[in-house]
Amino acid sequence: MATGFSRSVSLPNSNPPSCSGRSGKFFHVRSTSLPCRSHPLVSQIEDELRACRIWRWSTEPQSAAGLCAGMIRLELLHLALGDLLQLPQTRDALRRSTGGPSSLSESLLEDFLMFADAYGSFRSALVSLQELQLAAQVAVRRRDKACLASVARSLRKAEKEIASLSSTLSKVSKSADLALAAAWSGSSAEDAELAGIFTEVKAVTVSVSTAVFQATAASLASTMTSVASKSSASWTALKRRLALTSSSMKRMNSSEGTDKEEAWARTASEKLDGLEEGIIGLESGSERVFRALMNTRVSLLNIMTP
């Protein structure tokens, strides 16, 4: 039997106000095999689905703190799903779905592997960004234009890698639609009900994860728009990246440029410290989601290979 990661401590479940009736549309078929809608676990999943949607369509999810909040909501959703998978009724329904390449269980295993791979890649990119941030700090202190040019190229590469993760998740969404449609066709009421729950969870996972990846990539892309390919322009580009005003740059070119440059270096270091804190928060949040996804996949493997 496969074993999973130790489960992280999660925040208490919240009950956000209703934002959509969409989460209830898959629960119209009731059975004696699966827990009814009033079952605490099913209700908890519905609550977490609503909370994720509220976060997804909130007006200010772009900050590092906002992105971390979204990943916390996603972690709580998958922890609730993991609890549902421990119920004997759920496990029996999934075992009934095995037996073909389009079975619900096989589809879930493949999709959750793709989710986990995406978050694993995201975490790796964030670790690289931490290293680049440290390199930028050193370049600021040493006024090293060549190093800044190298950092700029590496940041551009990291931005492209993170942006590509959204395309990967869009493939998960399409494959999920096809496989779950097959699971609904000719299936029992119990299997259809379970397929509906997973449809909602996977759709929200794609939506929230895409928002996180795209916001992170957009932040890096915004940085890179002002970074020229020539090393001579990289010093100015990094100043723009750290949101220096034009008046500050003019003062740096004055007769008192040395003193002003020292003041800029202090400001730049402070801003880079803030960037580091944001990256650390994103890395921690992505790790929590990654572990929850892996635990869910381990539960599915255990169901299929008792």
What is residue 78's predicted lDDT score, i.e. its pLDDT? 96
pLDDT at 42 over 50: yes
222/227 Cα distance (integer angstroms): 10
> In this predicted model, what pLDDT tens digit does every residue of 124-165 receive, in sequence order?
999 988 888 788 778 777 877 778 778 778 878 888 899 899
What b/e string do you get for 42-58 counting C-beta neighbours within 10 Å, with b at 16 or more?
bbbbbbbbbbbbbbbee
Tokens 């750290």, residue located: 242
Find out whether 192 and 29 touch, Cβ atoms under 8 Å: yes
Mean pLDDT computed over every residue of the chain: 73
Is the model more confident about 304 or about 261? 304
Q: What is the rounded radius of gyration, in angstroms, for the C-alpha atoms of the chain? A: 23
Token readout for 191 is 């299997």
Q: Phi and psi dihedrals of 255, rounded to 5? A: -65, -20
> In this predicted model, what pLDDT tens digit does every residue of 74-132 receive, in sequence order?
999 999 999 999 988 888 888 776 655 456 778 888 889 999 999 999 999 999 888 88
- A 10 A CB-CB count for 159 gives 21
What is residue 231's predicted lDDT score, i.e. its pLDDT? 42
CB proximity list for 134: less than 8 A, separation 6 or greater: 276
Percentage of the chain exceeding pLDDT 90: 25
Interior CA angle at 65 toward 243 and 24, to 5°?
A: 135
pLDDT at 30 over 50: no
pLDDT at 70 over 90: yes
What is residue 291's predicted lDDT score, i.e. its pLDDT? 95
212, 193, 214, 210: which is closest to 45 by C-alpha?
Answer: 193
237/234 Cα distance (integer angstroms): 5
What is residue 96's predicted lDDT score, i.e. its pLDDT? 73
What is residue 304's predicted lDDT score, i.e. its pLDDT? 81
Measured in residues, the chain has a length of: 306
279, 207, 277: which is closest to 53 by C-alpha?
Answer: 207
Find out whether 283 and 120 touch, Cβ atoms under 8 Å: no
What is residue 206's predicted lDDT score, i.e. its pLDDT? 93
